[in-house]
Structure 1
Amino acid sequence: MNFLYPGFLFSLLAVAIPILIHLFNFRKFKKIYFSNVAFLKAVTVQHSSREKLRNLLILACRILAVIFLVLAFARPYWSSGTAVLENGSLVQIYIDNSYSMEAVNKEGSLLDEAKRKAKEIAKQFQLNDKFELLTNDFEGRHQRLANLEELTNLIDEVKISPAERNLQQVINRLNNTAAGKRNQYNYILSDFQQQFAGKSVIQTNSKHTINLVRLNANTIPNVAVDSVWSLSPAHKPGDQEKFVVQLRNYSANASSGIPVKLTINNQQRALATLNIPAGKSVRDTLSFSGLSAGWQKAKISIKDFPVTFDDELTFTFKVSSELKILQLTGESSGKYINALFGADPYFKLSSMPEPAITYADFHQYNLIVLSGLKTPSSGLAQELKTYMKNGGTVVIFPDLDVNPVIYSSFIQALGIPQQITLSKDTVNVSTIALKNKVFNDVFEEIPAKLDLPRVNRHFIYTGIAKSGREDLMGLPLNQPFFSKYRLAAGQLYLSAASLNVKDSNLPQHPVFVPLLYKIALTSIQEQPLYYTIGQSNYLSAAPVRMNPNQSLRLVSGKQEVIPEVRQVPGQTLLYIADQIKAPGIFELYKADSLLSTYAFNQGLAESDLHYADDKALEHIFGANKVNMTKAGGDLSIKAVENNHTELWKLCLVLCAVFLAVEALLIRFFNKLKT
């Protein structure tokens, strides 16, 4: 037998009270002498014996009543028959240590309260019981059975973690531990955010009762940096940059005067102040210029108290010093390309005449433009196909004086099955995809009648599935004029006309410059501005050539991560699993050479400080065995109720029985006939 409150057992000293009363208040008999005492002696002896018996019975009832009353307050219990096993029980305790547990109530932070409650629960089990601690980190050192002392030390070491889990993941993890012949008891201590609980029905082991211990926080407002993205198609040294930042207000009240600051390489670049309605998101565009070439480490930050873990968002991007373009030309057909890209030092234009094309150099260029080739070969098609497979961009302006069959075979070799015929009908371009990223910011104001290119001769492409292409400009009868095709990791832009002005006025039309300019800028393979911890198992990098025994390193301060490297078409994938657990910026090195930088941020699930109520929890658990408890109560009592047979009610009943017997003895014992 065990006691929930063993300190009350000192009250057993109160047993001395009825004993003292008995000693000082028992009846004293007086002797009276008679001449004939035979009859009186018999009566006196008989009455005295009955009185002594009565007093002893009353004393016993009083002593037992006091004993059972004290025991009732000490809350005695014993393990149930199924729990009393040779190996004891397995007690699993999950402590939610996510960012939301930094919230406070009258007991302090929710995490500190959870740690105290976990210790209370553990103390109510037996010495031979084993414990397992679980947190959001899912650490291997917690995946072992510990005794009470070891568990207490592990609980003391629990700290706030950026790792995010949901209730189903936690329960799955708890069920992974084999209890063997032990009884298993599960306790989940959390604030039960809505995102943590979820809405789907929980799948759990029905043999075990799950005890949910809710920790209630004070209602607090919160504004978070939701996301950021760039409006610039490419990042050039000294050019104006535009980034859109989105803030979200998770509280029920409007937030005003929220300061927003953008810093790049530890230098402040832009400021803004935003007002955000309750439960809404607001965007603002931050503009700046003057960046130098190289990797940029940026941070959006706000000031919002008391919740601060989501007040910063870091991101990285690269300002390229140049963009390499290769032009493959036929006879004197590259003057317009030369004029367009040769005037801007940012573009490094190289040209190869058709007879002297060097395939081995293709991988060095961001964009390859084919202009007026006379005899495009299948070998060239295969090299371009490989180039696009690795993420390259190709633009084709055909030579309309060449037999269409030659270009038909060439285009088919690139992976676009179709037939080509020549049309000499004079038509105007009838449609333009103004919402496409190539044209979306070209026109400040769209006139009622757009002046679009005029076409005198063009190729008619037939047999191409319309779903496989995106027409940037189109001709009447839904014929494509300038189209985009996604091929593997790269993209192909195909024109129906050449760059010869006798075929069309496209090279002299105002739309030509932004068309080619934006295609060139979007040919740069940009990596994501940032990654979210726990949501991305791999990172994307530009193709990296490595020796068999060579490895890459991700470095942030003193932390170093060795990712698993996999080469796929157009990129190198870095598998990091769960090695990165805290927000920050990591640099990717090959030996001592910096290849890239990556930013990691905390997810926004913890920012939404709305909690699932009891009805919601009952719904997601359905028919599963679950007990719900508020942390404000005495969890040691709840632990005993759930896992042991309590005897305090029996003690109260026995106390009342003995008091009743005492009353009966006092009232009726003397009236019994001898």
Structure 2
Amino acid sequence: MQFLYPSFLWALAALAIPIIIHLFYFRRFKKVAFSNVKFLKEVKEETSMRSRLRNLLVLLARCLALAALVFAFAQPFLPTAQEIMTGQKAVSLYIDNSFSMGAESDSAPLLQIAKDRAQDIVKAYGVEDRFQVLDNDFNGRNQRLVGQEEALELIDAVRSSPATRRLSVVEGRQRSALRTENIDNRIAYLISDFQRNSADLEINDVDTSVRVNLVPLTAVRERNVGIDSVWFAAPVAQLNQNNLLLVRVRNYGSEDLDNVRLSLTYDGQNKPEGTLAIPAQEFVVDSVYLNITTPGVGQAELRITDFPVQFDDVYYITFRTADRVKALNIDDNATPNRNLRAALGGLSVFDPTYVGSRNIDYGSLGDYNLVILTGQNSVASGLAEQLRQYVENGGNLLIFPPAAADVSSYNAFLRRLGADELGAYDETPREVSQLNSQEFIFRDVFRNRDASLRLPETQGNFPLGRVGSRRQEVLLGYRDGSTALAKYPLGEGNLYLSSAPLASEVNTLALNAEVFIPMLYKMGISSGRRRPSSYTIGQDEVIQTNKLGATAELVFKLRGPGGEFIPEQRTVDNRVLLGLGGQVPTAGVYELVLGETVVDAFAFNYDRRESDLSYLSPEDLANLAANPGIDLLDAANQASLIGDIQERNEGTPLWRYFIWAALLFLLAEVLLLRFWKV
């Protein structure tokens, strides 16, 4: 037997008080006249002996009652196999408030049971102990130790959250908080459903100075269906076209499902898209066509119906479609090619600008969707660097070298862009016979490709060398297998390089409107930087948009289902990076507002890691708890949980038994004095 407060044992010296009273208590006798004392000697001796025995028993009862009270205040306990923590304790409680904790148990949602058990744990400790209450939100107020009453209030304030954390990260956060105060006894509790995708505790990572207690909660059913992801089949959504959307729906349960209804909501209209049959633990990818009728930023949502876990039943997306392509033609003499001017100026889908190489506004270069370089006999180093940055930042550059081009100057420029180099100009006539209809530029352009489609012819060209490390993609090819028009991705943009000049006496490409005009349009709307259709709450903390006139006085704001806030803003080239800082709490579409004008929109969805309702098995948890420093508690029974906590942290307490013993000894004293007549 050991004691939590052994200093109280000094109070055993108080046992001397009843002994002293017993020794120095002298009863005063009164003389009584009696006629004959002949027969009294034997009776007197017998009575005196019984009196001494009674007094000794009363003294013993008093001493034992006082000793039992002293032992009770010293808080004796029977030690367990673990080392008992005596003195003040620092206790950290992690309450898993992720969406998976919304699943039902036999009596209530898992989150409510987790909060109840957390309160039981706090109450099982003393008022002098210190507590941390931690959930997945990782708020600043949860990174400090508080008293018992405030801890109970923090537990009551825990609500379901879209955030999800790996247990290794949680355990590290607990260690950090427990070290903030100089308390040697440190204990951590993890109250969770222990999903496999987040339960990544490694034995080597556990701090042995902190006793870790696992408190697992179990849901009734492990059934869930969710929309895993949605994406456009093409790199860019196009206006007035049936854009193909691919939707991946996953069955996380153990039962096959054959009646999962999928619907699409766009422009205020809800359209059923049919039903899906999904095998257990599998997914299906379904196709949905979205006809975008309005230019600018659009939004849509895909939805299924499922119960009880519903956070992953809706998937929000946004997209941007341009009604006009802003094109910049840079020509050495500021006199654009006549056919190029006709192609760009003849259709309302283009917004062209023509400048000479000496009059370029480099600051506005990023505002253009497509830059076309024509008539440049050589490329100056300043222009070459600006065009490289433009392409890397998501721009599209189309180059037509003239017949009199300085090959060495062009090759130095092309090396910067990671493209193949030009050979010496060759005046051999060639015919284009290959058109890459699988690439975005020419995909879905021609409804029926047949012999009536006229392909370009050239009277001369610069043969393109092929370097294996440079990612050349042939868009147009000659009969002899050489390249007429090539594409090179660079950074977030694309370089398009023609091996032949644009002049009509050399190249008939500009005369073939059925090839040239859709080629210019799709080059203008393409980009190596694919705009994400959506972002994930808790994962994507930085998003980007175009620089649209934000100033120190006029800043961007995000406005959506979770409220309105001002994100962190940083300008890089022609883009603005927006830092979210965890300020998006609710899934949905958030509008980017500049002043009072909506300039962009972004879709945010909940993290799908919570969709997989597979948990660590009891055997897995038992194996984890078999390691030193980790214990497994039973959360199903409240009394058992509290008893386990007290036994694990204080041993088997005996003070209650000593209180009862003190009362019994006092009762014995009363009975002796009342019923033992001398």
- For normalisation by structure 1, the TM-score amounts to 0.77
Query: What is the CA-CA distance between 1:161 and the residue it aligns to?
Result: 0.9
1:425-458 deviations in Å (ceiling 9; x for gaps) = 455668765554334545779999x997655522
Deviates more, 1:454-463 or 1:115-124: 454-463
1:291–1:319: 8 Å Cα contact kept in structure 2?
no
Instruction: Please report the RMSD computed on the Cα atoms of aligned residues, expressed in angstroms.
Output: 4.3
Aligned to 1:537: 541
- Pick from 278, 282, 286: which aligns with 1:280? 282
Aligned to 1:665: none
Alpha-carbon spacing, 1:443–1:168, altered in 2? closer, same or farther (3 Å): farther
Q: Which amino acid aligns with 2:214?
A: L
1:9 match: none
2:462 is paired with a residue of what secondary structure? strand
- Measure the CA separation in 1 of the matches of 2:446 and 2:625: 56
Aligned counterpart, 2:198: 196
Query: Which residue of the partner structure matches residue 117 of structure 2?
Result: 117
Is 554-563 or 109-118 further displaced after alignment? 554-563
Ranges in structure 1 where 5+ consecutive residues have no aligned partner: 3-36, 656-674
Matched, 1:636 2:642: yes
Deviates more, 1:641-650 or 1:185-194: 641-650
Alignment of 1:263-278 (within 5 A): 263-269=265-271, 271-278=273-280
Superposition deviation, residue 264 in structure 1 = 2.6
Match of 2:105 in 1: 105
- Matched residues in 2 for 1:183 and 1:621: separation? 20
In structure 1, distance between residues paired with 2:457 and 2:90: 81
Q: Is the 8 A contact 1:391 1:569 kept in 2?
A: no
Deviation track 1:65-96 (CA, whole Å, cap 9, x = no partner) reads xx9xxx9xx997799996333xx111111111
Write the letter of the residue equivalent to 1:207: S
Deviation at 1:239, TM superposition (A): 3.6
Q: How does 1:296-445 map to 2 (within 5 A)?
A: 296-329=298-331, 334-338=337-341, 340-352=343-355, 362-374=365-377, 376-405=379-408, 407-408=410-411, 411=414, 418=421, 420-426=423-429, 435-441=438-444
Distance apart, 1:206 and its partner CA: 1.1
C-alpha distance in 2, partners of 1:272/1:75? 70
The separation in 2 between residues aligned to 1:267 and 1:75, in whole angstroms, is: 72
The alpha carbon displacement at 1:473 in A equals 4.4
Q: Structure 1 residues 235 and 344, CA, compared in 2 at 3 Å: closer, same or farther?
A: farther
| 2:558 aligned to which of 549, 554, 559 | 554
Distance 1:341 1:172, change over 3 A: same
* Matched-pair contact (CA < 8 Å) for 1:201–1:619: no
Contact 1:527 / 1:540 at 8 angstroms: preserved in 2?
no
Counterpart of 2:162 in structure 1 is 162
Equivalent residue letter for 1:266: G
Aligned residue runs from structure 1 range 600-615, under 5 A:
600-615=604-619
Aligned to 2:172: 172
Amino acid at match of 2:487: K
- Cα deviation, residue 350, structure 1: 3.8
User: Where does residue 259 of structure 2 map in the other structure?
Assistant: 257
Q: Partner letter of residue 525 of structure 2?
A: L
Q: Tell me how far 1:477 sits from its aligned partner.
A: 9.0
1:116-138 Cα offsets, whole Å, 9 max, x none, are: 11122222212211111111111
Residue identity in the other structure for 2:559: V
* Greater mean deviation of Cα atoms: 204-213 or 194-203: 194-203
Match for 2:295: what amino acid? A
Amino acid aligned to 2:497: L
8 Å Cα contact 1:225-1:311 kept in structure 2: yes
How far 1:204 sits from its partner (Å)?
1.9
Distance 1:318 1:108 in 2: 44
For residues 506-655 of structure 1, the aligned pairs below 5 Å read 506-507=509-510, 512=516, 514-523=518-527, 527-548=531-552, 550-556=554-560, 559-617=563-621, 623-633=627-637, 634-647=640-653
1:482–1:493 CA contact under 8 A, matched in 2: yes
List alignment gaps of at least 5 residues for structure 2: 5-38, 662-678
Query: Contact 1:527–1:541 at 8 Å: present in 2 too?
Result: no
Q: Distance in 2 between matches of 1:160 and 1:356?
A: 58
Check 1:564–1:360 CA distance in 2 against 1; reply closer, same or farther (3 A cut): closer
Once residues 509 and 377 of structure 2 are traced to their aligned partners in structure 1, the CA distance between those partners, rounded to angstroms, is 20
- Secondary structure of 1:150's aligned partner: helix
Whether the aligned pair in 2 keeps the contact of 1:489 and 1:569 (CA below 8 Å) is: no
Distance 1:277 1:454 in 2: 54
Aligned position for 1:497: 500
User: How far apart in 2 are the matches of 1:134 and 1:319?
Assistant: 44
Cα distance in 1 between the residues matched to 2:528 and 2:351: 14
- List per-residue Cα deviations over 1:313-345 (Å, max 9, x = no partner): 112222333221223457887354445445542
8 Å contact from structure 1 (residues 537, 578) kept in 2: yes
* SS of the residue 2:198 aligns to: helix
Shift of 1:370: 2.3
Matched, 1:485 2:488: yes
* Cα offset, 1:162, TM superposition: 0.8
Give me the TM-score of the superposition, normalised by structure 2: 0.77
Residue 143 of structure 1 deviates from its aligned partner by 2.4
